[in-house]
Chain A
């Protein structure tokens, strides 16, 4: 089975290395992606990670441990360690041995298993036991409808993920609507994987696609396919309005059916777009550990209408209160959209339990090769300090050093050179420190959008940028997420939270649009300062993602 020319190297820690120069790399990648998460994709050897979650995701998709073992050993360059195969077998064997079903006699929910010992074991767990109702028979426990999500979470924590076969409640239907945009092949595949022919096994889960791959369009297609009243939850008001714009542009839905539930409007319609902020708004005086619906009254939106589908945009950012509310609505179809399943808070298991398993994953490199998203080059430009500036930096308090380095005056000259070099391009200048952004805006007479900018002004400036009326837009971190600026093809990052992988991915994502052609992402870094240290994180992260990374001296 093993062959030195094969592309896979299976490590004892359950990581799998894929040598992309191998002629079999494509086949191996396709097989591997079904049960392992792509962790990094640098130039020569990509790393995938097999985890309990990735194996359970695979089990949901119908893969067996034998299939996984066959892929690992069949494409392996060296013998696969027995412990790896044993772990695969063990973890995959756990999924589905506990099942959440709808009891035929009572139509109530029940947790069941063919193994009395297993159901006995989990029922004795304190957390699980508290969520189980009366014992219906030797291997069935009643489950309250509202506890469906919490029970799945608790079982997952025990390492016994339950197969949710309890189906969905009836919901109000939409009048038929049509999607005017044509789905790309991968978008169609993603939708089909999520919908699963409309059966009870489908209709929930997460689709992972890179920035610029058209996740919103897939969301629209899901609404059209399901034909049910839908709640869309977006990260910000700008993002929510972008959803509304796309919905109206790319479908024939009657505008009167689309509502906005935000800080400004509380308009509940058959298709309602809400924001995470409004849902997690906390009422004063209610303690954190108090009743969640009392503390976050807008979470009642989930219950106030008979939704048939909830779409979670940027699911990796889903805040904790929304998780808790989602745990109560497990009989509604759910779709999560994201560019990455990696959550900085490590709550990936909750996404699996409550939103559903990963149904589709399209690596950006493949989409780039197919021309669906723009190839990007990352360039770090290092700027030196004068002796005087260096002394100022040296004597600064540790917490001030980042600001001193990030706002080094030498960056202005470099921005000027880059703007001149990219005349004719659409350029975003992204930064963290507002006074620095104000200076840049003033110096180059460019419009600026920050958190202080009124919503109307933001929309006008974004629109003007989209129309090409303004070639350079200065933005703060508010532009990190979900702002669709397909025309932007150059980003100049002048400062940021350089340790954050998520921020890096999102900022780069602003220019990964197919319409922009080749994209260039500049980062200005002050040499021999903490900025350079932080930049290492970015360098590593972007190299891991497979981007070309250059370092230049100013």
Chain B
């Protein structure tokens, strides 16, 4: 038995070990979830820093494990299987891995308290076994799955003495299945059918480091033994056709193997290979040991003006959604319907993904709230619809923030948004992983996008089963990262990371990306507008309404768009748009540009839609004809200039708007002030009465790691609970 005398600086493991502060920097750098957890968790009264660390780790073992890199996970699993380990045996087992890397993993796991180093050997710390899911069930640890009688029968069939105690029987069988020679002889004795069935089960082993709950994410062809159906009609039929084994023989072989405990059966219709057998056959627990290596860092392009555009877009988007007042049909909706979000986004020129992202953010901050509409139906058919309306007060407070804080608030809302999906790592986790990984690179550097998935799998083995493409797209969309073939944090993306203590500097850093002193641009006769990259959101908001973004780099190129001008006519007159362009243009605006705006704003025909049985009316017969041509509006020409539709006004409005026809609706919509926020039964939303707190930096990155390590290493650990 291993001595319980702990020694964290045993020369066997690469002594002398660095100071606690240095080791903390290392583990925090490697595990961003731990960084966030430590940041959030206040040390108890009189609690020493290392006690605080151990408490946080033991309280969040599953999360900590998700953050471990692939090699650490494998070391942990190996120790769990072996029970204890010497450095020498680990170096032999993982001969392909650099010994320094192995020492580093052992040091990290020990610092975290997941392993204990005792007299030159390492063992699993108490309570940690429960988070370790071995790639295959371990026979010696599965006594509860087997009865004493089963073990006794197995002993008898295996030709070993059946002891009286269950533990001894277990030990006796284990010795047999751990012995490669005896195992091979046994299979030979059982006949060819048993060998084939055993080989088939052996070939279906789970890849190392995969949590049993994540099997749904496994690529096809990597189906684990857990999924093998014991039903002989299925299992044996497969062997019968594929392996030339008679079905009856196959069934009999399966029973022979199970009786001798050479395979495990149970948990309903499942059969599996014991880890001990797997090691006996393959000589090793893992097919290979990962050799961690980071992708080659490359220079990244700085995204230009994206963050400012995000802020301006959010403002326009919430106004648009507020004006549309989409109705939630079902109780319990967290968001307006996707269609309504897309439609509002389309109206302000956002793509559906950006619209979805911003919709979550504005609802997260309570800028858009759901209010009760009158109940419809009775009894079981009763519904409590809600309408999503703008919360003007809250929007005003949000607008009062500086642009960089508004951007930060949107990024933070995105970071925590997105529902968990069963069997998948939460979106929040993968976002945190990727941001912290990118933060570990030098400023201005990134990694090839195509190598991100592999890199993340190396960095966070168990937690990396996620779609990083989506995360990357969102990060680029928000301006946190550069786009293209290389992904890296933008200046803003780097500046948003930090401790709250440094929030003033972070804010200043962010502000430098937002508050350029440029307020002028060039309006060209070909309808393009060339702006500097640091145009403030206040100007961008109007620009977004009337022009489409074309390209970015040193400058940003926009193009006045007929569709946008037509839509903008709901908010701005032609004079206002021309005035805005004249105010900011450094060159005279050519006549054809003015005419272009006039053509699409002044001349925009506005149809009026009435309530109940909807109708449209306009003097312009051609315009009415164009509206009638919109099939989804289901309009019928009633008289010259008048058409009617069986649709509700809101639906008619939506159908016509979708085709670019500008429509006004006569007083059918609700005001936020008229109605109360919907009760929790209908909509899960933030309390609109709660104050809108200014966002703080995101506690990730080297700065936070260093300050946490310093505080813990010096024994003066202090964190804060007012982090968002």
Query: Which residues from chain A sit less than 8 Å from chain B, CB to CB?
Result: 8-13, 15, 17, 40, 42-45, 47, 76-84, 380, 390-391, 393-395, 528, 532, 536, 539-540, 543-544, 549-551
Contacts and interface: CB of A to CB of B under 8 A. Distances in A.
B594 to A, nearest CB: 9
A47 B557 CA distance: 10
B526 A82 contact: no
Most chain B beta carbons < 10 A, residue from A47, A380, A391: A47
Contacts of B299: 82-83
Contact of A540 (B486, B527, B533): B527
Interface stretch (B160-168, B362-370, B585-593, B645-653): B585-593
B589 to A, nearest CB: 11
Contacts of B486: 83
A396 to B, nearest CB: 10
B524 A42 contact: yes
Please name the 3 residue pairs, one residue from A and one from B, whose CB atoms are nearest each other, closest first: A11-B553, A78-B554, A82-B299
A47 B530 CA distance: 11
A550 B593 CA distance: 10
A180 to B, nearest CB: 42
Contact of A17 (B300, B555, B587): B555
B596 interface: yes
13 contacts: A9-B530, A10-B554, A13-B553, A45-B522, A45-B528, A76-B554, A77-B554, A78-B533, A78-B554, A83-B301, A84-B553, A380-B592, A528-B622
B502 interface: no
A550 B591 contact: yes
A13 B528 CA distance: 16
Interface string B312-331: 00000000000000000000
A15 B551 contact: yes
A218 to B, nearest CB: 30
Most chain A beta carbons < 10 A, residue from B302, B527, B553: B553
A82 B524 contact: no
Contacts of A543: 524-527, 590, 592
B304 A12 contact: yes
Contacts of A79: 302, 554
A44 B520 CA distance: 14
Contacts of B530: 9, 17, 44-45
B666 interface: no
Nearest to B624: A394
B621 A390 contact: yes
B522 A11 contact: no
Given A12-B301, A44-B587, A78-B533, A391 B551 contact: no
Given A15-B557, A81-B553, 13 more contacts: A9-B530, A9-B554, A15-B551, A43-B524, A45-B524, A45-B528, A77-B554, A78-B533, A82-B298, A83-B484, A84-B301, A540-B527, A543-B525
Contact of A394 (B527, B592, B621): B621
Most chain A beta carbons < 10 A, residue from B299, B301, B484, B592: B592
Contacts of A17: 530, 554-555, 557
B526 A544 contact: yes
Contacts of A77: 554-555
Most chain B beta carbons < 10 A, residue from A44, A76, A77, A544: A44
Interface in B100-129: none
Interface in B353-380: none
Nearest to B523: A44
Given A10-B554, A76-B554, A82-B300, A43 B622 contact: no
A414 B301 CA distance: 54
Interface residues of B, number: 35
Contacts of B662: none
Nearest to B629: A398
Nearest to B599: A532
B590 A9 contact: no
Contacts of A10: 553-554
A37 B571 CA distance: 39
B525 A549 contact: yes
Interface string B518-560: 0000101111101001000000000000000001111101000
Contacts of B533: 78
Contacts of A390: 621-622
Contacts of A544: 526
A76 B301 CA distance: 15
B302 A81 contact: yes
A44 B533 CA distance: 18
B199 interface: no
A82 B552 CA distance: 14
Contacts of B603: 528
A11 B592 contact: no
Nearest to B595: A551
B551 A13 contact: yes
A537 to B, nearest CB: 11
B630 to A, nearest CB: 14
B625 interface: yes
B592 A549 contact: yes
A42 B526 contact: yes
A543 B591 CA distance: 11
Given A78-B533, A393-B622, A9 B553 contact: yes
A336 B302 CA distance: 41
Most chain A beta carbons < 10 A, residue from B554, B557, B603: B554
B658 interface: no
Given A83-B301, A83-B486, A393-B622, A42 B528 contact: yes
B525 A394 contact: no
Most chain B beta carbons < 10 A, residue from A78, A83, A391, A536: A83
Interface in B20-63: none
Interface in B280-324: 298-302, 304
Given A42-B524, A536-B596, A11 B587 contact: no
A380 B596 CA distance: 12
A544 B599 CA distance: 20
Nearest to B559: A540
Contacts of B622: 390, 393-394, 528
A175 B155 CA distance: 108
B592 A539 contact: yes
Contacts of B591: 550-551
A79 B301 CA distance: 10
Interface in B477-496: 484-486
Interface in B580-616: 587, 590-592, 595-596, 599, 603
Given A539-B592, A540-B527, A544-B526, A43 B587 contact: yes
Nearest to A385: B622
B525 A11 contact: no
A12 B299 CA distance: 14
B551 A11 contact: yes
B555 A44 contact: no
A549 B554 CA distance: 29
A82 B621 CA distance: 55
A45 to B, nearest CB: 5
B515 interface: no
A551 B592 contact: yes
B562 interface: yes
A13 B304 CA distance: 12
Contacts of B301: 12, 81-84
A9 B485 CA distance: 21
Contacts of B587: 43-44
Nearest to B301: A81
Contacts of A83: 299-301, 484-486
B625 A395 contact: yes
Nearest to B444: A82
Contacts of B551: 11-13, 15
Nearest to B592: A549
A259 B599 CA distance: 54
B525 A42 contact: yes
B440 to A, nearest CB: 20
Nearest to A551: B595
Contact of A44 (B522, B557, B595, B621): B522
Nearest to A528: B603
